[in-house]
Structure 1
Amino acid sequence: MSMKSKLLRMKNHLQLDDATETSLVSKVVKIDKSTLEESFEELGFEPFYFDGERSYRKRLIYPYESAKDKETLRVMGEMRSLWEQEGLSDHPLSFKNRKLDQLLFFDTETTGLSTGAGNVIFLIGYARLREEGIEVTQHLLENPSNEAAFLSGFLEDFSEDDYLISYNGKSFDWPQVKSRHAFIRKELPKLPSFGHIDLLHCARRLWKHELPSCRLAIVEEYKLNMKRIDDIPGSMAPILYFEYLHEKDPHHLAGIIKHNDQDVRSLVYLYQEICMRLFQWKDKPTSPMEHYYIADWFEKLSEYKWAEIHYKLAIETMNKPFSQGYFRLGKLTKKLGDKEGARSYFIEALNQHSLPSLEVWIELAKLAEHEEKNVYKAYNYAKSGYSQWKKQTNMHSVSLKTAKHITDLNKRLNRLEKKLEIKEGGYESGENGGLL
Structure 2
Amino acid sequence: MKAKLARLIKTTEPKQQIETPDDVEQAKWKALGGEILTFEKEWCVRLKEMYPLESMYHDFTYGEARRAVREATHPFFAVDVPTDRVLFMDTETTGLRGSGTSIFLIGFARIHEGHLEMVQYVLPHPAFETAFYYHFLNDIGDEVRFVTYNGKSFDWPQIKTRHTFVKSKVKELPAVGHVDLLHASRRLLKPTLESVSLKAVEAHFGHERVDDLPGFLAPMHYFQYVKEREPDILRPVIEHHHADCLSLVSLYTRLTHLVEGDGLMFGEERAHWLSDLGNEDAALKTYAQLDNPSKLAKMRQAMLLKRTGKIDEALPLFEQVGSIESLTELAKHAEHQTKDIDRAIVYTNRALELVEARRTVLKQTAFRAQRELQHRLARLERKRL
TM-score range (shorter-chain normalised) is 0.7 to 0.9
Write the mapping of 1:175-214 to structure 2, written as runs, cut at 5 A.
Answer: 175-214=157-196
Q: May I ask how many residue pairs the two structures share in their alignment? A: 365
Q: Deviations over 1:278-305 (max 9, x none)?
A: 333xx3x351xx3333322211232122
Q: 2:383 is aligned with what amino acid?
A: K
Cα distance in 2 between the residues matched to 1:54 and 1:338: 63
Question: How far 1:235 sits from its partner (Å)?
Answer: 1.4
Q: What amino acid is aligned across from residue 41 of structure 1 in structure 2?
A: K
Match of 2:77 among 59, 80, 93: 93
Matches within 5 A, 1:323-362: 323-350=295-322, 356=323, 358-362=324-328
Match of 2:51 in 1: 62
Alignment of 1:241 onto 2:222: yes
Residues 106 and 165 in structure 1, CA contact (< 8 A), matched pair in contact too:
yes
How far off its partner does 1:57 sit? 0.3
Tell me if the contact between 2:149 and 2:198 (Cα under 8 Å) persists in the aligned partners.
yes
Give the superposition deviation at 1:405: 4.1
Q: Which amino acid aligns with 1:335?
A: R
CA separation in 1, counterparts of 2:178 and 2:296?
A: 33
Q: Provide the rounded CA distance (Å) in 2 between the counterparts of 1:193 and 1:366.
A: 47
Q: Which residue of 2 aligns with 1:429?
A: none
Structure 1 segment 10-409 matched on structure 2, within 5 A? 30=20, 32-66=21-55, 68-69=60-61, 70-79=63-72, 82=73, 91-95=75-79, 97-114=80-97, 116-223=98-205, 225-280=206-261, 283=262, 285-287=263-265, 290-312=266-288, 316=291, 322-350=294-322, 356=323, 358-394=324-360, 397-399=363-365, 405-409=369-373
**One-letter amino acid of the structure 2 residue matched with residue 126 of structure 1:** F
Give the alignment partner of residue 412 of structure 1, picking from 350, 368, 376: 376
Q: Secondary structure at the match of 2:356?
A: helix
Q: What is the aligned partner in structure 1 of residue 11 from structure 2? A: none
Aligned residue identity for 1:40: W
SS of aligned partner of 1:165: strand
Give the whole-Å Cα distance in 2 for the aligned partners of 1:258 and 1:162: 24
Q: What's the Cα RMSD here? A: 2.5
Give me the whole-angstrom Cα distance separating, in 2, the residues matched to 1:406 and 1:39. 73
Q: Following the alignment from structure 2 to structure 1, what is the Cα–Cα distance between the partners of residues 283 and 269?
A: 9
Provide, for residues 203-243 of structure 1, a one-character-per-residue CA deviation record: whole Å limited to 9, x for no partner. 223322322112111222324x4332221122111011112
Over 3 Å counting, the alpha-carbon distance change for 1:75 and 1:201 in structure 2 is: closer
The code of the aligned residue for 1:191 comes to L
SS of 2:175's equivalent in the other structure is: coil
Gaps of 5+ in 1: 1-25, 84-90, 351-355, 422-436
Q: CA distance change for structure 1 residues 62 and 404 in 2, over 3 Å: closer, same or farther?
A: farther
Partner of 2:139: helix, strand, or coil? coil
Question: What is the alpha-carbon distance in structure 1 between the residues aligned to residue 214 and residue 359 of structure 2?
Answer: 45
Between 122-131 and 182-191, report the one with greater CA deviation: 182-191
CA contact (8 A) 1:359 1:405 kept: no
- Cα distance in 2 for partners of 1:403, 1:105 equals 49
Paired residue type of 1:360: S
Report the 3-state secondary structure (helix = DSSP H, G, I; strand = E; otherwise coil) of the residue aligned with 1:316: coil
Task: Name the CA distance, whole Å, in 1 between partners of 2:314 and 2:102.
Answer: 55
Structure-2-length-normalised TM-score: 0.86
In the TM superposition, residue 66 of structure 1 has moved relative to its aligned partner by 4.5
How high is the TM-score relative to the length of structure 1? 0.77
2:138–2:171 contact (8 Å) kept in structure 1: no
Asked if the contact 1:106/1:166 (under 8 Å) is kept, the reply is yes
